[in-house]
Amino acid sequence: MTTAITNDDDRAIHSCVQRVAERPSPAGMINYTDQLTRLMEDIVLRVPTLGHIDMSRVLVFARFGRSDAEGAYATCHAISIPSSEPSYYFWRDRRTGAMTRRSEWFVTKSPRVEVGSSTIDYLISFCLPRFCDQTIARAQKQDSYPGAAPWVAKLDTVVHELYHVDPTHQGIRRLPGLNGKTTTRSHSPEFFRDVVEMTKLYLATRPDPELLDFLTRDFKGLEQRYGRVTGTTFRSFPSYPQRYTEVLTDQPVIEPGVRVEPVRAPSLRTQFTADDLDVREFGPRASRRVLHKRAA
């Protein structure tokens, strides 16, 4: 991907950043994940490379993450991956290399998540309050955005997670490798450069400052302006929909002399709806449930 950013674009970017900084915001509670969803809806409309994304099939939710701890700011979770091929775990004798035992045959499957009339293909989680306190310096993005406001690092992260959504909806975007073949890598220098170009392109389109206003505040600033910072979560918080294993009903013939170990099926849910969503209030050290469930 190559996108030329002209001098006019640079002026538009700085103008957009300045208009966002000058815009007042009303006091009151803010649902951070709802704000992120609205922003993503605008981004995929304005950035052609992300135009394949149907935001009705993407669910944004919050996870807890302290600002003073290490860890990711956000993560894209693909739940549209087809079931895996049947497989098993096995153990070998260290001396002879012969297989001594194995697990039952199983497949790995994706949970089904439906919100309203939409089937969700991707979940994108944001760690609060850690994401709110991300800055260009903290994320080491100074060279990519020279002279930019600190909050642009958060916009870069939003674009980054959207870029993981594969156009084929078969999982996380795979990157091109040697000889035109794809690799299993999810990041590369080219990936990060594309994200920077798309972030600058989005700002150059002069988006509504109202959509970006919430990004300009760190967590303390959000609490001062809105009072309470909330976000959509799953009722099973801190758990969320994840791929799970399912033992095959018809097991292949057992190899002679090989002990078969049963697969311990994890206690993971396999289906989710809007009734499984909550709203939680996030603080610097913990979160607490606000509503029993979130309206669809």
Does residue 149 contact residue 161 with C-beta atoms inside 8 Å? Answer: no
pLDDT at 37 over 70: yes
Query: How much is the pLDDT for 252?
Result: 85
Residue 92: inside a domain, yes or no?
no
pLDDT band at 112 (very low <50, low <70, confident <90, very high): very high
Query: How much is the pLDDT for 269?
Result: 85
Query: How much is the pLDDT for 265?
Result: 74
pLDDT digits (tens, 9 = 90+) for 82-93: 899 999 999 998
Query: How much is the pLDDT for 135?
Result: 94
DSSP 254-275: PPTT-EEEPP------SEE-GG
Token pair 């849910």: residue: 269
Does residue 122 contact residue 76 with C-beta atoms inside 8 Å? Answer: yes
pLDDT at 22 over 50: no
**5 vs 153: which has the higher pLDDT:** 153
pLDDT at 25 over 60: no
Residues 233, 64: Cα–Cα separation, whole Å: 10
Residue 275: inside a domain, yes or no?
yes
**10 vs 203: which has the higher pLDDT:** 203
Residue 264: inside a domain, yes or no?
no
pLDDT digits (tens, 9 = 90+) for 262-296: 988 777 889 999 999 999 999 999 999 985 545 44
| Total number of domains constituting the chain | 1
ω into 129 cis (within 30 of 0): yes
Domain that holds residue 282: 7-80+111-241+271-291
- DSSP-derived pairing of the beta strands 99-103 and 122-129: unpaired
Residue 282: inside a domain, yes or no?
yes
- DSSP-derived pairing of the beta strands 106-109 and 229-234: unpaired
Percentage of the chain exceeding pLDDT 70? 85
pLDDT digits (tens, 9 = 90+) for 131-146: 999 999 887 888 899 9
Residues 88, 140: Cα–Cα separation, whole Å: 41
Residue 94: inside a domain, yes or no?
no
Query: How much is the pLDDT for 20?
Result: 46
Does residue 296 contact residue 274 with C-beta atoms inside 8 Å? Answer: yes
Helix (H) or strand (E) holding 226: helix 219-226
Residue 247: inside a domain, yes or no?
no
Summarize the confidence of residues 52-60 as an average pLDDT: 96
pLDDT at 216 over 90: yes
Name which of 47-51, 114-118, 266-270 the model is least confident about: 266-270
129 CB neighbour count, 10 Å cutoff:
26
Residue 53: inside a domain, yes or no?
yes
Does residue 278 contact residue 293 with C-beta atoms inside 8 Å? Answer: yes
Q: Which two tokens stand for residue 185?
A: 């890598």
Q: Is the dihedral of CA 198, 122, 41, 161 positive or negative?
A: negative
pLDDT at 81 over 80: yes
Query: Residue 279 contacts by C-beta under 8 Å, 6 or more apart in sequence?
Result: 31, 230, 231, 232, 233, 289, 290, 291, 294
Residue 214: inside a domain, yes or no?
yes
pLDDT at 17 over 80: no
